C-alpha cells in the first residue's frame, strides 16, 4: 500500500513504546479524523496503535487506561482493530498526579509499562495536561486543527502553552476544509507569523494529506513516517528517563473534563 514501507518499518523498530501526544481542542472531530487515518496506515504495517481518550471516563463496565495502569486488563494493541481507543480520563489524571509529585519521567515510565514494545500510543488530551505529563521530555505534540477562525485560534493557544509551559516543540497539523484554498492558506500564514512575532519561533507544520482522489500515496506515507520518527520512544526500563528533570515538580493545574 505504501511505497515507503521500508522506511516506516525502520522508524518503528521494535524495542520501545512510542508515545505521540495529540492536543485536543474544541474541534475534537478533526483530531479523531487524523487518528483514524494514522491508525489505519500503521496497522497495515503490523503495528498496534492505541489512542488514549481524555474526553471519556472509565467505568466498571468500560475499562480503560486506569485499569491498564494497574495491570487489570490485557494489552489492547494486539487485537484486530486498526485503532483501539481507550477511555483514559481517570488514568491520565492519575499520571498527572505522578508527574506533579515524582516528575514527568516517572509518569511516562509508568505509562509505557502498560503496553508492549512497538506499540504506538496516541495520547489525546488538553494542552494543559500534555504540558505537565510530557514536560521537558523532547516529545513533539501534534496539534490537529481546521483552518477555520476558531481552529486557528485554538492552534495558537495550544502552541503557546506547549512551548512555554511544556518546553516542547509542537507540530501543527492543519486540516483542509471546504473553504477556498487561498483563504485557508492565508489563515495558516497569519498563524505562523503570529507565532514568530509573539513566541519567538515558527512551529513545524505537517499538513494532513488531502484524502481526495489523486492525492499521492507517497505523500501520505511520508507524513506517517515523520510522525512515527518524531514519537517519544520509551524503552521498557524507566532508567532511560532519569536525565530529563528532577522530581521536584510544581502542582499540576488541569481543567476538569467532561464525561461521555
What total of structural domains would you count in the chain?
1
Task: Pick the closest to residue 19 from 112, 126, 95 (CA basis).
Answer: 112
**Each residue of 115-140: pLDDT tens digit?**
988 899 999 999 999 999 999 999 99
Task: Pick the closest to residue 145 from 228, 21, 19, 23 (CA basis).
Answer: 23
Task: Pick the closest to residue 175 from 159, 187, 192 (CA basis).
Answer: 187
Among 53-57, 92-96, 235-239, the range scoring the smallest mean pLDDT is 235-239
- Domain around 65: 17-230
CA–CA separation, 224 and 85 (whole Å): 19
Cell numbers found for residue 179: 473553504
CATH of the domain at 192: 3.40.50.300
Mean residue pLDDT of the chain comes to 83
Q: Estimate to the nearest angstrom the gap between the alpha carbon of 30 and the chain centroid.
A: 13
| Radius of gyration from C-alpha coordinates of the chain | 18
Residue 190 within a domain: yes
Residue 241 within a domain: no
CB 232 within 8 A of CB 192: no
> What's the average model confidence in pLDDT over 181-189?
93
Percent of the chain with pLDDT over 70: 78
**Each residue of 8-57: pLDDT tens digit?**
444 444 579 999 999 999 999 999 888 888 888 888 777 789 999 999 99
Phi first, then psi: give them for residue 137, nearest 5 degrees.
-85, -15
**Each residue of 66-93: pLDDT tens digit?**
999 998 776 665 566 668 899 999 999 9
Residue 115 within a domain: yes
Q: How confident is the model at residue 62 (pLDDT cuts 50, 70, 90)?
A: confident
Q: Can you give the pTM of this predicted structure?
A: 0.83
Does pLDDT of 6 surpass 80?
A: no
Residue 239 within a domain: no
Amino acid at each position: 500500500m505504501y511505497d515507503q514501507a521500508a522506511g516506516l518499518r525502520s522508524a518503528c523498530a521494535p524495542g520501545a513504546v512510542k508515545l505521540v501526544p495529540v492536543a485536543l481542542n474544541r474541534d475534537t472531530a478533526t483530531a479523531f479524523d487524523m487518528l483514524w487515518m494514522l491508525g489505519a496506515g500503521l496497522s497495515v504495517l503490523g503495528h498496534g496503535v492505541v489512542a488514549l481518550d481524555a474526553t471519556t471516563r472509565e467505568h466498571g463496565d468500560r475499562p480503560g487506561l486506569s485499569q491498564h495502569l494497574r495491570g487489570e486488563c490485557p494489552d489492547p494493541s494486539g487485537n484486530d482493530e486498526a485503532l483501539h481507543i481507550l477511555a483514559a480520563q481517570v488514568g491520565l489524571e492519575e499520571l498527572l498526579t505522578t508527574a506533579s509529585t515524582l516528575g514527568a519521567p516517572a509518569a511516562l515510565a509508568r505509562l509505557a509499562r502498560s503496553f508492549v514494545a512497538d506499540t504506538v500510543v496516541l495520547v489525546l488530551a488538553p494542552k494543559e495536561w500534555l504540558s505537565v505529563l510530557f514536560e521537558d521530555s523532547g516529545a513533539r505534540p501534534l496539534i490537529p486543527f481546521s483552518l477555520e477562525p476558531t481552529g486557528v485560534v485554538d492552534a495558537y493557544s495550544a502552541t503557546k502553552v506547549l512551548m512555554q509551559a511544556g518546553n516542547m516543540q509542537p507540530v501543527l497539523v492543519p486540516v483542509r476544509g471546504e473553504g477556498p484554498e487561498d483563504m485557508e492558506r492565508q489563515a495558516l500564514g497569519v498563524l505562523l507569523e503570529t507565532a514568530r512575532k509573539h513566541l519567538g519561533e515558527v512551529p513545524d507544520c505537517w499538513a494532513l494529506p488531502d484524502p481526495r482522489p489523486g492525492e499521492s500515496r507517497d505523500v501520505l506515507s511520508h507524513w506517517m513516517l515523520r510522525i512515527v520518527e518524531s514519537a517519544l520512544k520509551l524503552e521498557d526500563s524507566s532508567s532511560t528517563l532519569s536525565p530529563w528533570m528532577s522530581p521536584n515538580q510544581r502542582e499540576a493545574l488541569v481543567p476538569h473534563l467532561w464525561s461521555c
